[in-house]
Amino acid sequence: MLNLVLFGPPGAGKGTQSEKLIEKYNLVHISTGDLFRAHIKNQTELGKQVSSLIADGQLVPDSITIAMLEKEIEKNPTAKGFIFDGFPRTVAQAEALDKFLESIGTSISGVVALDVDEAELTKRIAERKKISNRADDDADKLQKRIAEYFNKTIHVLPYYEQQGKLAKVNGIGDIDTIFNNISKEIDSF
Ligand code: ADP
């Protein structure tokens, strides 16, 4: 199996690149952000539990996120591989993912981290806000999400670096160039 983590701060372009990658590598895309938004839209129990946290720009607790993620993997028993987008966002999530994949006889092949500076992120999300209608794209909530990233999520990078699985790619430039650079890294995993 080819199991990839696409890593990066809010607005780094994970969703855009994931769409292209699933097509090229025939992978199942699991975005925890998209899954949460679907739960909120469908007003499920889980959606009700997490909606205020998400609207406020905070991370959802690990236990809830990990359980949802594992269920999603189990829904795709014939997948050739997965691309994880927006997960793991904490070291506890990364450890849980490794454990779970091991239990089903597979592992993370590699992690691509998209590198984008904070000024560019703020600019991109302000643009996205015009069409996204996401409450968490409001400026104050966005600052909180970026803070969550730099406080909690960034520690996931050394976790994978120690395993020799981390590749950094410049996330600024045109979409196809970034895509080609990501693909090169994946082909070397
Ligand atoms: P972004 O566009 O900021 O990268 P996502 O669409 O991936 O955001 O996620 C939106 C929100 O959903 C996050 O701000 C957080 O509240 C919640 N969320 C998504 N993935 C996770 C996760 N792995 N752990 C905890 N919370 C998560």
pLDDT tens over the chain, length 189 residues: 999 999 999 989 999 999 999 999 999 999 999 999 999 999 999 999 999 999 999 999 999 999 999 999 999 999 999 999 999 999 999 999 999 999 999 999 999 999 999 899 989 988 888 888 888 988 899 889 989 998 999 999 999 999 999 999 999 999 999 999 999 999 999
pLDDT of res. 52: 97
Strands 110-115 and 166-170, bridge-based pairing: parallel
Residue to mutate (ligand 1; options 89, 118, 125; most atoms within 8 A of CB): 89
pLDDT of res. 33: 96
Residue to mutate (ligand 1; options 29, 30, 35, 36; most atoms within 8 A of CB): 36
Ligand 1 nearest atom to the CA of residue 9, by list position? 4
pLDDT of res. 109: 98
Residue 136: both structure tokens together: 């968490």
Ligand 1 nearest atom to the CA of residue 53, by list position? 16
CATH class entry, domain 2-116+154-188:
alpha beta
Is the shortest distance between the CB of 36 and ligand 1 below 6 Å? yes
Rounded Cα gap, residues 143 and 154, in angstroms: 15
Determine if residue 7 is left, alpha or beta; phi over 0 gives left, psi from -120 to 50 gives alpha, anything else beta: beta
pTM: 0.94
pLDDT of res. 108: 98
Q: Take atom 1 of ligand 1 and give the residue whose Cα is closest.
A: 10
3-state DSSP call for residue 33? Answer: helix
pLDDT of res. 120: 92
